[in-house]
C-alpha cells in the first residue's frame, strides 16, 4: 500500500514526464503551490537546462525553484506559457476544483489564466463527486472581512477567518464550510462578485484541462477534450 507521500511523488514525476517532450529552450512554465507541487519542482530541477524558466504562483514556490537553479520570471514579462501545473484540494468529475489550502489561490488563478493548458496533479483522495467537503478558501481585503462573511453566510456557508495567516497579496483568507456546491461555475461567479472578495478558491469557470491522478494502481491521465 503506497503512502500519500508516495502517491504524490508518483504523480509529480508523471507530470514532469508529461511536459518534458514539449519543452524547448524558450519555454516558460507556470508552476503552482502546495505539497505535491513542491515535489514536482524537485523532480523538474534536474531538467532545468531544457527550458527557459517558470512563473510561480507563490513566494514559496519561487524560492524553491530559485534554489534549484530554475529561473523565475515575473508574469508581467511573459506573453504566454504552454502549461500551468498545480494541485487541488478537491476536484470533481467535471474537472472543477477547490484550491487555496495553501493560501495562493488568487495568484494561482492569475497564472493559470495565461497558460494554454492547466495540468492538475492530485492523489486519488482529492477526487470527489461534489465539491464542498473541503472548506472553500476566499481571499478578502481585510476591511471587508465581516461584510463578506455576512454575505457568505447568506449563501449557506460558515465562514471562519484563517488565523495567523496573510496572503502574498497582504490579504486575509476566510475558510467557508457548509456550502452545497452543486453548480461550481455559478457559485464561483457569485462569490467573486461580492465587494471585497479578491478571489475565491473555486476553479470552475476555467477548470483543469488535464488531470493526472495518482492511485494505488498507477497514475491515470484524463483530459477534458481528448483528441
Are 181 and 217 found together in one domain?
no
Which neighbouring-strand residues pair with 47? none
Give me the helices (H) in the chain, please. Answer: 4-19, 35-44, 59-67, 105-114, 145-154, 184-192
Are 28 and 116 found together in one domain?
yes
- Give the per-residue pLDDT at 164: 96
- Give the per-residue pLDDT at 225: 73
Which of these, 108, 121, 134, 78, lies nearest to 209 by C-alpha position?
Answer: 121
| Residue 88 annotated as lining a ligand binding site | yes
Asked whether residue 180 carries a pLDDT value surpassing 90, the answer given is no
Are 73 and 124 found together in one domain?
yes
Are 131 and 184 a contacting pair, CB within 8 Å? yes
pTM as predicted = 0.95
Residues in the chain: 227
- Find the range with the poorest average confidence among 92-101, 127-136, 200-209, 217-226: 217-226
User: Per-residue pLDDT averaged across 164-188, rounded?
Assistant: 95
Residue 75 maps to which CATH number?
Answer: 3.40.50.1360
Could you give the CA distance from residue 53 to residue 24 in angstroms, rounded to a whole number? Answer: 10
Are 21 and 95 found together in one domain?
yes
- The end-to-end CA distance of the chain, in Å, is 34
Could you give the CA distance from residue 112 to residue 66 in angstroms, rounded to a whole number? Answer: 20
108 is catalytic: yes
Are 88 and 181 found together in one domain?
no
Are 209 and 195 found together in one domain?
no
Are 62 and 149 found together in one domain?
no
Q: At 171, is the secondary structure helix, strand, or coil?
A: coil
Could you give the CA distance from residue 181 to residue 75 in angstroms, rounded to a whole number? Answer: 31
* Residue 101, all three cell numbers: 489550502
User: Per-residue pLDDT averaged across 80-94, rounded?
Assistant: 97
* Residue 200, all three cell numbers: 475565491
Are 149 and 63 found together in one domain?
no
Matching residue, cell 519555454? 27
- Give the per-residue pLDDT at 226: 67
Percent share of the chain, pLDDT over 70: 99
Q: What is the average pLDDT value for the chain, to the nearest integer?
A: 96
Residue 69 is classified by DSSP as T
Residue 141 maps to which CATH number?
Answer: 3.30.70.260
Percent share of the chain, pLDDT over 90: 98
Asked whether residue 33 carries a pLDDT value surpassing 70, the answer given is yes
State the total domains in the chain. Answer: 2
Q: Catalogue the long-range contacts made by 49-54 (C-beta closer than 8 Å, 24 or more residues apart).
A: 50/20, 50/23, 50/24, 50/25, 51/23, 51/24, 51/25, 51/26, 51/27, 52/25, 52/26, 52/27, 52/28, 53/28, 53/29, 54/28, 54/29, 54/30
Res. 227 pLDDT band, cuts 50 70 90: low
Active-site option among 6, 17, 59, 108: 108
Q: What is the pLDDT of residues 146-155, one digit of tens each?
A: 999 999 999 9
Are 113 and 217 found together in one domain?
yes
Are 154 and 89 found together in one domain?
no
Matching residue, cell 504524490? 8
Are 77 and 16 found together in one domain?
yes
Are 43 and 152 a contacting pair, CB within 8 Å? no
Domain holding 180, by residue range, is 136-200
Measured in whole angstroms, how far is the alpha carbon of residue 198 from the centre of its chain? Answer: 16
Q: What is the pLDDT of residues 35-73, one digit of tens each?
A: 999 999 999 999 999 999 999 999 999 999 999 999 999
| Residue 33 annotated as lining a ligand binding site | yes
Could you give the CA distance from residue 121 to residue 36 in angstroms, rounded to a whole number? Answer: 7
Are 32 and 112 found together in one domain?
yes
C-alpha triplet 94, 191, 76: angle, nearest 5°:
80
| Residue 126 annotated as lining a ligand binding site | yes
| Residue 27 annotated as lining a ligand binding site | no
- Give the per-residue pLDDT at 114: 96
Amino acid at each position: 500500500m503506497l503512502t500519500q507521500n508516495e502517491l504524490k511523488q508518483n504523480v509529480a514525476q508523471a507530470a514532469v514526464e508529461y511536459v518534458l517532450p514539449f519543452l524547448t529552450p524558450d519555454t516558460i512554465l507556470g508552476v503552482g503551490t502546495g505539497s505535491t507541487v513542491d515535489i514536482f519542482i524537485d523532480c523538474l530541477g534536474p531538467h532545468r537546462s531544457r527550458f527557459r524558466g517558470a512563473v510561480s504562483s507563490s513566494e514559496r514556490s519561487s524560492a524553491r525553484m530559485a534554489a534549484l537553479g530554475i529561473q523565475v520570471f515575473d508574469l508581467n514579462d511573459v506573453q504566454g506559457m504552454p502549461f500551468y501545473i498545480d494541485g487541488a484540494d478537491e476536484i470533481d468529475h467535471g474537472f472543477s476544483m477547490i484550491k487555496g489550502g495553501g493560501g495562493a489561490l488568487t495568484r494561482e488563478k492569475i497564472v493559470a489564466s495565461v497558460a494554454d493548458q492547466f495540468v492538475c496533479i492530485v492523489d486519488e483522495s482529492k477526487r470527489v463527486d461534489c465539491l464542498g467537503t473541503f472548506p472553500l478558501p476566499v481571499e478578502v481585503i481585510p476591511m471587508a472581512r465581516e461584510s463578506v462573511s455576512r454575505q457568505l453566510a447568506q449563501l449557506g456557508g460558515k465562514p471562519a477567518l484563517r488565523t495567523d495567516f496573510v496572503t502574498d497579496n497582504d490579504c486575509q483568507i476566510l475558510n467557508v464550510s457548509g456550502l452545497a456546491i452543486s453548480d461550481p461555475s455559478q457559485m464561483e461567479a457569485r462569490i467573486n462578485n461580492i465587494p471585497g472578495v479578491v478571489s475565491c478558491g473555486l476553479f470552475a469557470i476555467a477548470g483543469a484541462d488535464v488531470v493526472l491522478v495518482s492511485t494505488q494502481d498507477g497514475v491515470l491521465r484524463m483530459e477534458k477534450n481528448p483528441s
